[in-house]
């Protein structure tokens, strides 16, 4: 149920239940109950219209290019404000996103075995860390096995 629907269920003049108690029962914060939305002012609408016209003309522009384009037209606005307004209007510049976290469909996903486990004593769980160390004539790898509970290094090579 949306907060708007919950707000309509609250009776301000209820004789037995206070507004606080009604909000608790509906799991609605009091600030959400008392909040009245603020409209968009005229200046922001003018800027949003200019952003829309520029984005229609140049759909590949991001917030930085749009800001520079608007500044050339005499509309002084910040990049973050342009980005926020683009988000409100649902505008997004198309660009190729990195696909760095796409798992291969044939690879098995292993379960996390320590999930929900309480680690409270030494030698219950060990973990390893491999660190790359650049040196003058190349590089080294430092491998350390550590105890999870005490954070002590058990062995390193």
Q: Domain ranges for the chain, please list them.
A: 3-34, 42-89, 126-156
Paired tokens of 116:
């929900």
How do the pLDDT tens digits run along the chain, 157 residues long? 888 888 888 888 888 889 999 999 999 999 988 988 888 899 999 999 999 999 999 999 999 999 999 999 999 999 999 999 999 999 998 888 888 888 899 999 899 999 999 999 999 999 999 999 999 999 999 999 999 999 999 999 9
How would you list the strands of the sheet with 153-156, edge to edge? 126-135, 138-147, 153-156
Q: Tell me the C-alpha distance between 6 and 9, whole Å.
A: 5
């Amino acid at each position: 149920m949306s907060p708007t629907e919950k707000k309509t269920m609250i009776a301000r003049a209820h004789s037995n239940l206070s507004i606080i108690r009604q909000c608790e029962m509906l799991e609605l914060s009091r600030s959400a109950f008392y909040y009245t939305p603020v409209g968009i002012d005229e200046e922001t609408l003018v800027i949003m219209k200019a952003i829309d016209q520029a984005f229609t003309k140049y759909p590949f522009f991001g917030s930085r290019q749009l800001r520079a384009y608007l500044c050339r037209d005499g509309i002084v606005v910040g990049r973050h404000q342009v980005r926020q307004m683009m988000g409100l209007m649902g505008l997004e510049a198309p660009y190729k996103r990195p696909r760095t976290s796409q798992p291969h469909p044939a690879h098995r996903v292993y379960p996390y075995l320590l999930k929900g486990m309480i680690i409270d004593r030494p030698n219950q769980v060990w973990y390893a860390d491999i660190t790359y160390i650049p040196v003058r004539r190349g590089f080294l790898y430092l491998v350390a096995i550590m105890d999870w509970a005490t954070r002590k290094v058990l062995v390193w090579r």
